Structures are given as C-alpha cells and as structure tokens.
Structure 1
Amino acid sequence: MLWNEIEGAPREKIEEVQLARLQETLKRVYELTSFYKEKFDELELTPSDITSLKDIEKLPFTKKQDLRNHYPFGLFTVPMSEVVRIHSSSGTTGKPTVVGYTKHDMDVWNEVMARVFTMAGATADDVVHNAYGYGLFTGGLGFHNGAETIGATTVPVSSGFTDRQILLMKDFNATILAATPSFALHMYEAAKKTGNDYLKDFKLKAGVFGAEPTSDGLKEEVSRVWGIDYHEVYGLSEIIGPGVSSSCKHSKLLHINEDHFYPEIVDHKTGEVLADGERGELVITSLTKQALPIIRYRTGDITSLHRSPCECGRTLVRMESIVGRVDDMIIVNGVNVYPSQVEHVIANAEGVTLNYQIIADKKGHLDKIDILVEVSEDVMSDSIPEMEKIKKDIQQSLANNLYINANVKLVEPRTIERSMGKAVRVIDKRV
C-alpha cells in the first residue's frame, strides 16, 4: 500500500517534479542567504544555469561546519515569525547544528513519516509505542507526528525507564515499536527476565528502527526475539529528521523520498559523483524545505544507490543500509574499519550476544584494538577451553574478513553499559 501516489510514479514524472523543485529551491537560497550567494558567485553560477538534474553536480557542497559557522539562524530563509519549530543536534563536538521548520516544512515531515509507517504496514488501527527520545532530538517528535498523521494511536513514552516501557507496551497492546535497535534489544533483555510466558502477552507485529548504523545480524536478532518485521528508517536533522528513507516488506534497501530529497553518492575524498551501486558518501539536496533549504549536504554516511524495481510497487530510488560514517571509521594500522563490519563478525559467532564495544589505543607506535563482547548467559557456566575457542574464532574471523588483529575480551552478560538512545560502540583513546 502506498501513502502517496508519487511513490509509484514513472521515473519521468519523479524527475520532472525534482527539477522544478530544485530550481525553485536554488532561487530561494540564492536570493535569501548571503552564504549561498557568495558560494554561487565564486563558481560564477546563478540558479538559471541549472537546467537539468545532471547540472546539480556544478553546485557547491554544504558541510556541517557551515551550519555551525552560521549558528544559530544564519542560514534560515524565513523570518523567525514563520518558524514554528526548532530542533538541534547535541553539539558534543562543538556548537550544535540548529534547524528550523515552517508550517509547510512540518507538513512535509509529517508526510514522509506517514510513508514510513505505511511501508511498515501500520494503519489507524495500530498502537505505536514510541520509545525515541523527545526534545531537541528529532527522533521522538518525528515518529510521533508521523504516527498521528496516519491516525494510529500514539504512546509517547520517550526513552529510558525500561521496566515502565515494557509494562506500558504490554498493557496498551502496542502493535508497532519505534526505537533505536540497540534499545529494542535492551528492552527485550529486560522483558525476558520476567519469563517467556510474559513475553507471549505482547501484540507487536512490526518495528520502525533507526538513528544508528546497524548490522544485518543485529536487525535479525531484534526481529527474531520480538517476533516482528524489522523496518529500517534513515534521516538526519539537518535535512528533515527521520523520514528521508525507509524499508518496505519486500527489501532491505530503503526507499528514498526523492520528491523531497535529491540523493547523490560521491567519493568522500575527491567529491566526484559515483555511479549507482558504488559505495561512497551520501549527499542530499533538500527540494521542498522553506526555513532551512540545504544544497548538496555532505552527510558523512557511507551507502550506495540502486534503481532496480521493487516488488512493493514503489519506483523511488533505494539506498542500502548505512555501512558506517566517514568520521566514525577507525583506521587500524592503515586498515579502514567500520563498527558495523565488526558487528557483522560478532553476529556470526557462537555463544556471544550483540552487545560489544571497540576500544582503540596505542601500544608504542602501533594501534591496538580491544573488542569487548558479552557472552550469552548459558556460556558463563561452560569450561574455560570453550571460552577460549569462542574468543579465538572471533579473532580469526576479524583477521580473515577485516584484516585486523584485535584482542577480543569476553565479558559477563550485562557488563557493557546499555544505551537509552544510540549505542556507544567505539571508544578511541588515541585522540
């Protein structure tokens, strides 16, 4: 089922809509922001020079630092009297990036999130348990408004208070779970303590998960333990929040709402646009934003684009799950390693859970990597030789598949700190 007919429109129609919206957006930023006018003028470009979608490659990139340099409202293209909502990042690595929304922008956000829930099979008959954090983080309110747009009963529990979450999810007969995948697994662990009979009381049928790069192994684990369909959601606050893309029931690839967000894949070093199927950095141009339109935003996320048909009937371009981030990538003695790759190895190991942490440090002039992995509860009573075998198997798999020599440390269940939001997978002590 489609929420909006544009999701299944012919490619020619989609591109016609994209070009018209792109040209309108370019005119908007050129006339209303000195930042983009100066950028365009440096390249001797005007909005009228962009006559095809291919011409977008002529345009300058926008980076997160540009938003920070114009903190808080320097890139807005509307007066504050027209801004009805403000969100921002946490600002843990500097000034936060601030985004604003007009009433029109909120309508767009609600629209794309309605598509997310529709892809997950949700309707007005469903009860959505929303365990994303509310506040300046876009997750909680983004999922909340999308669920209400399709008419679903929405339970705004936010994050944390795990035992209370489980109680409400059971007692309110929640059918859709919205949460980060790591927190969904944490909730299951807490619910399991009550007993398997208790778990049978849940009515969940599907989940919409996002906000952190996740391996296939973790997705399959969340789906298996809760007995639900796993639907992945991608987004970022600078562009809209959650709702840039999401997966349907027929594919792990995520449909991009490209009538609102124009995607490109570029080489993160050279900026060269890559062909479909090639992995690189995702670049997004917002096509319908009013308060904060962004041109060719370098997301830092590594993925690829695919235009093959989908069984669901949607014709939107699709992206693979985020492999990792350009700035999250760990370089271990010259080898590029993403946490999701490590997670994939752990997911295929016996006797361990998917709770892990990567600690990078120095030993002399060389990089040293410790990987803490929680063993499953039934392994703790096994013999030391069995534990050693599990450890060596993981280390061998890391060496064979990722070409890194890591020191794997098996730790007892529930000793790695759980996250109420995004999981902290990497601690780099080298910087």
Structure 2
Amino acid sequence: MNGTPMLERLNAQLERLRTHSFHAARLPGRVASLQEFAERVPTMTRSDLVAEMMKPGYGAFKPHVPPVRVNLTPMGAPLVPILQSAADLRAIEAACGRHLDACGIGPGDVCLVTFGYHLFVAGLFYQSQMEARGVACISHGPGETERAAAIARQCGVTVLAANPSHALKLLDAGCPAPRVFFAGGESFTSNRALYERVRNAMPDTLLVDSYSLSECLPVARTFPGGTGLHVFDELLYAEVIDPETGMSVSPGKRGELVLTHLAKELQPLVRYRTGDLTVLDITEPVHGRTMSLPRSVFGRTDTMVKARGVKVYPSELRRLLDDVEAATGRYRLVVTRAPGGGDHLRFEIEYGAVDVPDASVIGAIGARFKQQTLIAVDRIDFVAVIDGDPVVQDMRK
C-alpha cells in the first residue's frame, strides 16, 4: 500500500479507538501523515499488554464483543490470553486466503499440520485458514514422525505446515515431498544452512517462510515472486525504530519492528514494540503488498552494546553460527580497549569438536559479522565451554 490508503486505514483505527479504555488517552483522533503518526503516537510494550491482561476481566483490554478463540502464550512468567473475535478470525482467514491463492492452494489440496494445538496458536492458525479456503486439513500435531509420514502417504498430502527440522525427519521417514511447505517455529530463510537442506530435500516444492507473533497474527510471509517476507499490510502497519531513541529509521536500516493493528476488535495494539530486530524495505507491489522484511527477524533488542560508534545487539550474532558444524549455539562478544585506543572485539564460540574450523570458515564468520553489524571483529576464538549467561562482556568500564 502507498502512504495515502495506509494513512486512511490508520485514521480509521484511531477513530475506532477513541473510546478504548487503554488507548483513548494516549492517541490523537487523527493524523495528517505517517510521519505525524510516528511522532505523536506513543509506543506500547509487551509489559503494557501483560499488565492489563493479568487484571480481572483483562483490565483495559476487556472485550467489548465476545471472544470466540482464546490462545495462551508465554510472556515472561505468566501465560497471557490472546483473544480473537469472530470478525478478527475472518479478517485473518481472508488475508491468509489471499496468500494461499497466490501459492495456488485451494480445494483438492490436503494439508498436514504438525504444529501444536494444546493451548498455543500455531496448529489452529494453519488449520482454520486452510479450511476457510476449502483445503482438507489433517490436525496431526507435533511428534510421532513415522505415523505422520504414513498418514501423509495414505491421505495424499500436498501441503505441509511444520518446523523445518521436523519436516526433514518426515521426509526421511517416507513422507512425500509436498507441493507447498509452510515453515515455522525456527529460523528458515535467514538460516542459510537449514534452508539449503530443506531446498535439497524438496527441490520442486514451493517453500514459504513466515513470521508471526501470538499477539499479532500473521505478520509476514514469503510470496511467490517476492523478496523477503511481505507484510500483511491489510492487517498491520509496520515500522522500524531505533531501539534506543524510539525514533523511526529509514527503509533498509536495521532496528526494532513496531506493529499497529489496522482493524482488530479485541486486544488492538498500536505502535507495539515487538523487541525483534529486522530491516523493513519498500518494494514494488507483490500480490498487492509493498512492505518486506528482507531477512525476517535476526535478533532481539534486550541487550545492546555500542562499539566503534555502532550499536551491536548480541542476540543477532546467533545467526552467524547457523552453518558452523559442531558449534553448540552458545557464544559471547567481549569488548575491551585496544592498546592503541579504540575498541577491540573478540567473538567467542562454544565448539564441540577437538579441531577448530579452518581459516576459510573463520573468514566466512568474520565476513558475516561485518555484514550483520557493519563493523569488523578483531578476533574469533573457539572454546570448549562458555560459562555463565551474559552474551556480551563490556570490559571497557
């Protein structure tokens, strides 16, 4: 969408929220531009949502129409209810239906869903959108790989919704390669090693990556012919801000993803800080959508260290290890003062093999480090054990 239709939809939502118990005192009645929306509308956080949802009757998010679906999602210690009205579900199904149309999925297809159904959202989310488009849906749930593969063969499954690692196990167990694969539950297109393994196992399959939050469902998916994950901008307005200052950043710059519901009835979120690091690009229309997350999300904003004038979010460094065999996934960034002044960066990687990788692997990690953070790492060490929790040690203080 270009700015004018999106602005109209934002203003319509602001008008609807004028009497909302949580939002009324926080929001202007109308804004004249997307820039004014970013400047005048305050952000809200997950703690804001949790605080209200833990109150009797859900506090300021008390439903004004009856919810028809309640999922629960962990947000810190509590399980927080996520509410959907009938209209909310229809809007989700319509948006996802347009994506299914783009993927050529419809009546005659058979979808096997191996995501969980117990309390959480993913299983029902995929099942309901498939059924709304006339797709036969098998609600299998996770685990029991041999049985799931046998069911896929028996029922002629053409669409698979699964964790990518589990999908590979299903194929090893004899599950036929589906025509379309919906990935979720773990990094996919941003994990090059895992993506290539799935691509090699399903060479003729349309691979679909997705990004969603329980409280914002869905957010973005890969569309045929597109680049990255295109935002469902009929449901959401997406922005990226500097996590430290809260100011908007320009397209193509990394920062924290902020989302606004455009029409949601229950638990409407406005400028909701997801805590996820990403990049937002504006593209030519792809099936009517122009906002794309080219690398999905690649880290969290919870911990940040500034080195050489650049903000580094240590959680984003996890993606550098995706294709490093024997890496356990634990790592630490150590920032010290260089002898001649300036900052010295050492990247420690916990490694489960005796022999460390060769120079080409170390060089590739260094190159990805610079591509991700925009600064170079001075030293990469492979260590047997990384003790303690901190993923960053700032020794300059």
> Does TM, scored on the shorter chain, surpass 0.5?
yes
Partner of 2:275, secondary structure, is strand
> Which residue of structure 1 lines up, in the alignment, with residue 373 of structure 2?
none
> Which residue of structure 2 lines up, in the alignment, with residue 233 of structure 1?
210
1:59 corresponds to 2:59: no
How far the C-alpha of 1:105 sits from its partner, in A, is 0.5
Q: 2:249 aligns with which of 274, 293, 300?
A: 274
1:149-191 CA-partner distances (Å, limit 9, x unpaired): 2111111111122222222222222111111223323434x52
How far the C-alpha of 1:130 sits from its partner, in A, is 0.9
Q: 2:355 aligns with which of 378, 382, 388?
A: 388
Q: Does 95-104 or 138-147 show the bigger shift?
A: 95-104
Q: Report 1:277-316 matches (<5 A).
A: 277-310=252-285, 312-316=286-290
Contact 2:95 2:234 in 1 (8 A): no
> Which residue of structure 1 lines up, in the alignment, with residue 73 of structure 2?
89
Structure 2 CA distance for partners of 1:257 and 1:31, relative to 1, 3 Å: same
- Structure with bigger helix share is 1
Q: Report 1:142-291 matches (<5 A).
A: 142-188=125-171, 190-191=172-173, 198=174, 202-214=176-188, 215-227=191-203, 228-239=205-216, 241=217, 243-291=218-266
Structure 2 CA distance for partners of 1:173 and 1:371, relative to 1, 3 Å: farther
Letter in 2 for 1:248: F
Q: 1:26 aligns with which of 14, 34, 44?
A: 14
How far the C-alpha of 1:329 sits from its partner, in A, is 6.3
How far the C-alpha of 1:330 sits from its partner, in A, is 8.3
Structure 2 CA distance for partners of 1:337 and 1:391, relative to 1, 3 Å: farther
How far the C-alpha of 1:302 sits from its partner, in A, is 1.7
Distance 1:32 1:78 in 2: 10
1:398 corresponds to 2:379: no
Letter in 1 for 2:26: K
Distance 1:103 1:47 in 2: 26
Distance 1:321 1:235 in 2: 14
How far the C-alpha of 1:323 sits from its partner, in A, is 3.7
1:103 corresponds to 2:86: yes
Distance 1:427 1:107 in 2: 49
Q: Which runs of 5+ in 1 are unaligned?
A: 1-9, 41-45, 192-197, 375-386, 410-425
Distance 2:347 2:206 in 1: 38
Distance 1:172 1:260 in 2: 34
How far the C-alpha of 1:145 sits from its partner, in A, is 0.8
How far the C-alpha of 1:327 sits from its partner, in A, is 4.2
Contact 2:356 2:382 in 1 (8 A): no
1:371 corresponds to 2:338: no
Q: Which runs of 5+ in 2 are unaligned?
A: 337-344, 370-376, 392-397
Q: Which has the higher contact order (CA 8 A, sep 6+)?
A: 1
Distance 1:357 1:330 in 2: 22
Letter in 1 for 2:29: P
Distance 1:184 1:428 in 2: 33
How many residue pairs match? The answer is: 365
Partner of 1:147, secondary structure, is helix
- TM-score, with length taken from structure 2: 0.80
Structure 2 CA distance for partners of 1:333 and 1:292, relative to 1, 3 Å: same
Structure 2 CA distance for partners of 1:36 and 1:342, relative to 1, 3 Å: closer
- TM-score, with length taken from structure 1: 0.74
Contact 1:67 1:75 in 2 (8 A): no
Q: Does 296-305 or 20-29 show the bigger shift?
A: 20-29
Partner of 2:226, secondary structure, is coil
How far the C-alpha of 1:88 sits from its partner, in A, is 2.3
How far the C-alpha of 1:52 sits from its partner, in A, is 3.0
CA RMSD of aligned residues (A): 3.4
> Which residue of structure 2 lines up, in the alignment, with residue 412 of structure 1?
none
How far the C-alpha of 1:427 sits from its partner, in A, is 9.9
1:269-308 CA-partner distances (Å, limit 9, x unpaired): 1111111111111111001100111110111122222222
> Which residue of structure 2 lines up, in the alignment, with residue 139 of structure 1?
122
Distance 2:361 2:303 in 1: 20
> Which residue of structure 2 lines up, in the alignment, with residue 378 of structure 1?
none
Distance 1:328 1:187 in 2: 35
Contact 1:68 1:96 in 2 (8 A): no
Distance 1:326 1:393 in 2: 28
Letter in 1 for 2:23: Y
Contact 1:113 1:143 in 2 (8 A): no
Distance 1:90 1:314 in 2: 33
Distance 2:287 2:23 in 1: 38
Letter in 2 for 1:109: I
> Which residue of structure 2 lines up, in the alignment, with residue 416 of structure 1?
none
Contact 2:300 2:315 in 1 (8 A): no
